């Protein structure tokens, strides 16, 4: 160990060990003597970062030299790996690693790198006057030179890649430090070194490639130049990351495990590199299939402005469980001013009986990376500001900011009405008052046999565009998000921006989507939402399209001479903000009515739209109009169906020591009316009746039969006050008389007992799933001894009856098949899963019990769900 380096500067050598960073700080303090305190602190900080980089990446002996010359601090950090270039990948301030080089660039007056045959030196200077006002960064990353193999990553989402890269570097850094401290992660040191090196190679290649793309572009296809023999090293990197993830989930590392989308993205990224190096064709990220919570479909980075302009009730929270944004529809639904929600804990909107569960699930997600409801449609209640509960279907999506942070975006759909494109969703779409003649051009092929649209568009590309827009609309959870998805596809392939206008009730026009190609492009918020009416005087291109004309080709913004109405002026204002050198506006026509218009525009010196593009636009709006009309009809049918269903659900009685709770949730997949129902009422003799049933079918006939069965059962039960099996036989006879073709399942039960107990359940079942008894100690038992044929098979057949004691604090659970049945799963497995969930909730309050069952078992259910629970709870 020497005292001075070749330049005569005091120096010291340190081993490749984590403690070298701390020892280097003490050496710098001693070497710099009585330099100004702020320079001393900065020098110690920067040398600590550079030594840590050398420990992690160079893995050789490290030499640090430090001196003061005329008030200027000079520090040099050298290693023995000249082949290991710097990889300044530009992590944001919140990231846990990768800050060394950015800190040196920001805080130093000068900095640089010297590379020789035997080593590499990073140096910096600190001057009393401080760093330059706008310090330069490091030189752009240059991928490793030499012959390389090109690997193409298709449709890389920049924000998700940034988050994935930060997590990868954090994980590898923590693994190195843990192994150096003697902790066994199951990772051989030699594999860890290979993984670190390969991670740096991938980072350098991707960072260098991304620098060549325009700033703000969210999705990119990135060609990488990688060593042709890198496949085994990438497989080692993937294996090391898997072991490190296990360590993170076991809380043996400071870094939290990856969230589902990051894990899916890493598998895709490394799989693409290994596969393409072996000769496989590339597969785009956008076509990768993922489990709920890990879908690759949402490409755009988190953007608060877009969320605030959304018509879908949406709330966003950060990783600290704090609300960072809420839009107007969500605030209106929950009774809050939107700005007052920002900064509050997310539990502000969660009923008190579910808060503990939410915090546990959120913590579990962060600590384990395993979600319960992320990406799934879950029925649960939200908390209104006035304290009442608002039934909603909740979908939580994971998005990333452009600097790599994670945002959890919660979309709230009222369970009585599916979300539309506005706070007042359109009902049946109506045509405008006036129409111009239909001027639809006929598609034609050019002389070369190529389909028109743009030079070079093949028939396959044209069909792919039409298919992708149809898929984006049909797969979206609601119309608004579907049209934004269509807009993103059109602005990636056909235009610089687009706008969709729909005609809603009373011939009003609503602009439901404006999408720009660049995420940071113009945001014409004042030109979205409800538009001026299509008056008799309107003569602009949008008014003409809404009357049926088009597609209309525009050579730039509408002419001011066409502005003769508020709608015309509004449309011209949109063009002035967004810019356009050419545009096409075309009507959306469905069932011989005009339901809206599509505007697509280009600007910035690109090829303008021409007559050759009009046949493609015609086919595009024809498919888009059909999709929009189908979605609107689906929403309208679903709204009517659920309102009808909910109107038939009763208010539960208050019966002294008997606690009652019930839940109903419509299917997340169908718009049809269902036949599920529950009921509870008190008989004149004091017994409490419990009823649950399910009429076969999902149509209006099923709903009518269900409502009639409920009414008939109530009348028979109250009038006769007979045992359950007799009541069901009389109900079956009435059902056979009025609806001879209808079949249904049903349980009719009576709870007998005094205010202080004991209590007894007497019931009979017509082909329904067995009641479940859950004891206060978590013991469970299905009551299967009173099962008979379903209603509608043989009304003259006698039915069985069963009697069971109900100890205090025991829960009686009645439910329909939508709660448990899963496609491809046996009924025994479904019942066993219900038993386990219910047992775990045995001591929870009855409201918590019911909500937890829906959250845990009812997400994405393909059928309606009805749940009725009773629990005797004596006062002492």
**Sign of dihedral through CA atoms 467, 469, 471, 474?**
negative
pLDDT at 814: 97
pLDDT at 563: 83
Per DSSP, the residues of 192-227 read HHHHHHHHHHHHHHHHHHHTTSPTT--EEEEEEEE-
pLDDT at 658: 93
**Percent helix / strand / coil, the chain, rounded to 5:** 35, 25, 40
pTM attached to this predicted model: 0.62
3-state secondary structure 405-430: CEEEEEEEEECCCCCCCCCCCCCCCC
**What stretch of H or E contains 121?**
strand 120-126
Write down the residue that tokens 């608002």 correspond to: 390
Per DSSP, the residues of 213-266 read SPTT--EEEEEEEE-TT-HHHHHHHHHHHHHHHHHHHTT-SSSPPPPHHHHHHH
Write down the residue that tokens 């690693």 correspond to: 97
Task: Count Cα atoms within 13 angstroms, Cβ side, for 337.
Answer: 2
Distance between CA atoms of 438 and 435, rounded to whole angstroms?
8
Helices (H), 396-537: 459-475, 479-493
Q: Which two tokens stand for residue 645?
A: 């269903």
Residues of the chain with pLDDT under 50: 1, 93-95, 140-146, 297, 416-454, 671
3-state secondary structure 18-76: CCHHHHHHHHHHHHHCCCCHHHHHHHHHHHHHHHHHHHHHHCCCEEEEEEEECCEEEEE
Distance between CA atoms of 75 and 304, rounded to whole angstroms?
43
pLDDT at 557: 85
Q: Find out whether 128 and 35 touch, Cβ atoms under 8 Å.
A: no
pLDDT at 587: 92
705-709-715 Cα angle (round to 5): 150
- Residue 788 has phi, psi (to 5 degrees) of -130, -175
DSSP three-state, residue 156:
strand
Q: How many CB atoms lie within 10 A of CB 874?
A: 13
Distance between CA atoms of 403 and 520, rounded to whole angstroms?
14
Write down the residue that tokens 């799933």 correspond to: 769
Distances (CA, A) of 152 to 223, 286, 299, 833: 4, 14, 18, 44
Q: Which two tokens stand for residue 434?
A: 């006036």
Write down the residue that tokens 């003490």 correspond to: 26
| Beta strands across the sheet bearing 377-383 | 323-326, 314-317, 406-414, 389-400, 377-383
Tell me the residue ranges of DSSP E strands in 666-753.
Answer: 676-682, 688-695, 744-753
pLDDT at 444: 36
Q: Which two tokens stand for residue 520?
A: 């940071």
712-716-718 Cα angle (round to 5): 115
Q: Find out whether 550 and 586 touch, Cβ atoms under 8 Å.
A: yes
Q: Find out whether 107 and 131 touch, Cβ atoms under 8 Å.
A: yes
Distance between CA atoms of 494 and 602, rounded to whole angstroms?
8
Distances (CA, A) of 335 to 318, 378, 643: 22, 21, 22
Q: How many CB atoms lie within 10 A of CB 449?
A: 8
């Amino acid at each position: 160990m020497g005292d001075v380096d070749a330049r005569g500067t005091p120096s010291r050598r340190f081993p490749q060990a984590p403690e070298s960073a701390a020892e280097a700080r003490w050496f710098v303090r001693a070497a710099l003597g009585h330099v100004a305190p702020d320079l001393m602190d900065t020098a110690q900080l920067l040398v600590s970062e550079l030594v840590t980089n050398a420990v992690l990446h160079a893995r050789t002996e490290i030499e640090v030299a430090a001196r003061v010359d005329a008030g200027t601090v000079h520090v040099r950090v050298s290693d023995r790996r000249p082949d290991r270039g710097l990889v300044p990948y530009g992590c944001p301030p919140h990231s846990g690693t990768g800050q060394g080089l950015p800190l040196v660039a920001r805080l130093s007056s000068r900095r640089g790198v010297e590379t020789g045959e035997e080593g590499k030196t990073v140096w910096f200077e600190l001057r009393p006057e401080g760093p330059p006002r706008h310090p330069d960064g490091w030189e752009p990353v240059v991928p490793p030179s030499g012959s390389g193999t090109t690997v193409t990553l298709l449709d890389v989402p920049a924000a998700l890649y940034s988050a994935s890269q930060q997590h990868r570097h954090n994980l590898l850094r923590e693994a190195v430090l843990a192994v150096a401290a003697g902790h066994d992660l199951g990772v051989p040191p030699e594999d860890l070194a290979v993984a670190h090196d390969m991670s740096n190679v991938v980072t350098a290649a991707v960072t260098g490639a991304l620098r060549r793309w325009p700033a703000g572009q969210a999705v990119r296809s990135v060609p990488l130049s990688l060593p042709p023999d890198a496949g085994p090293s990438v497989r080692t990197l993937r294996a090391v990351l898997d072991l490190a993830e296990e360590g993170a989930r076991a809380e043996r590392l400071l870094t939290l495990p990856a969230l589902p989308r990051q894990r899916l993205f890493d598998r895709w990224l490394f799989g693409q590199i290994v596969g393409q190096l072996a000769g496989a064709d590339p597969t785009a990220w956008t076509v990768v299939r993922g489990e709920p919570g890990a879908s690759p479909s949402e490409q755009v980075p988190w953007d608060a402005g877009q969320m605030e302009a959304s018509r879908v009730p949406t709330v966003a929270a950060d990783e600290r469980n704090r609300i960072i944004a809420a839009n107007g529809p969500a605030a209106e639904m929950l009774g809050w001013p939107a700005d007052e929600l920002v900064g509050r804990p997310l539990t502000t909107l969660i009923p008190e009986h579910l808060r503990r569960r939410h915090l546990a699930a959120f913590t579990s997600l962060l600590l384990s990376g395993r979600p319960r409801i992320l990406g799934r449609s879950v029925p649960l209640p939200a908390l209104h500001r006035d304290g009442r509960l608002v039934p909603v279907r909740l979908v939580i999506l994971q998005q990333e900011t452009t600097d790599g942070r994670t945002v959890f975006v919660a979309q709230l759909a009222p369970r009585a009405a599916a979300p539309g494109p506005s706070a007042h969703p359109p009902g049946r779409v109506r045509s405008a008052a006036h129409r111009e003649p239909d001027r639809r051009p006929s598609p034609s092929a050019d002389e070369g046999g190529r389909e028109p649209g743009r030079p070079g568009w093949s028939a396959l590309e044209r069909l792919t565009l039409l298919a992708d827009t149809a898929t984006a609309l049909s797969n979206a959870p609601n119309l608004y998000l579907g049209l934004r998805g269509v807009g993103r596809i059109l602005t990636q392939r056909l235009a610089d921006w687009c706008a969709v206008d729909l005609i809603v009730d009373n011939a009003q026009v609503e602009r439901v989507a404006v999408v720009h190609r660049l995420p940071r492009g113009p945001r014409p918020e004042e030109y979205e939402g409800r538009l001026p009416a299509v008056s008799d005087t309107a003569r602009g291109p949008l008014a003409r399209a809404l009357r049926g004309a088009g597609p209309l080709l525009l050579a730039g913004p509408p002419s001011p001479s066409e502005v003769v109405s508020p709608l015309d002026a509004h449309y011209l204002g949109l063009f002035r903000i967004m810019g356009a050198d050419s545009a096409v506006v075309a009507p959306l026509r469905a069932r011989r009515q005009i339901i809206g218009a599509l505007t697509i525009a280009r600007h910035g010196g690109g090829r303008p739209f021409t007559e050759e593009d009009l046949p493609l636009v015609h086919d595009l709006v024809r498919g888009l109009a059909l999709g929009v009309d189908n979605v609107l009809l689906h929403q309208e049918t679903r709204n009517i169906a659920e309102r009808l269903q909910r109107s038939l659900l009763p208010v539960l009685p208050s019966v002294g020591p008997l606690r009652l709770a019930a839940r109903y949730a419509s299917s997340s997949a169908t718009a049809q009316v269902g036949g599920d129902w529950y009921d509870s009422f008190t008989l004149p003799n004091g017994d409490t009746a419990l009823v649950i049933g399910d009429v076969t079918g999902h149509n209006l006939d099923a709903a009518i039969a269900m409502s009639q069965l409920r009414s008939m059962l109530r009348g028979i039960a109250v009038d006769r006050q007979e045992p359950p099996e007799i009541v069901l036989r009389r109900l079956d006879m009435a059902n056979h008389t009025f609806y001879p073709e209808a079949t249904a399942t049903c349980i009719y039960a009576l709870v007998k007992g005094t205010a202080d107990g004991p209590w007894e359940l007497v019931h009979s079942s017509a082909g329904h799933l067995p009641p479940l008894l859950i004891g206060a100690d978590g013991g469970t038992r299905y009551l299967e001894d009173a099962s008979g044929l379903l209603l509608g098979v043989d009304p003259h057949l006698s039915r069985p009856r069963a009697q069971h004691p109900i100890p205090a604090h025991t829960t009686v659970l009645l439910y329909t098949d939508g709660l448990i049945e899963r496609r491809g799963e046996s009924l025994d497995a479904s019942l066993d899963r219900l038993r386990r969930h219910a047992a775990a909730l045995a001591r929870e309050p009855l409201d918590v019990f019911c909500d937890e069952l829906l959250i845990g078992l009812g997400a994405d259910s393909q059928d309606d769900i009805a749940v009725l629970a009773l629990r005797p709870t004596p006062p002492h």
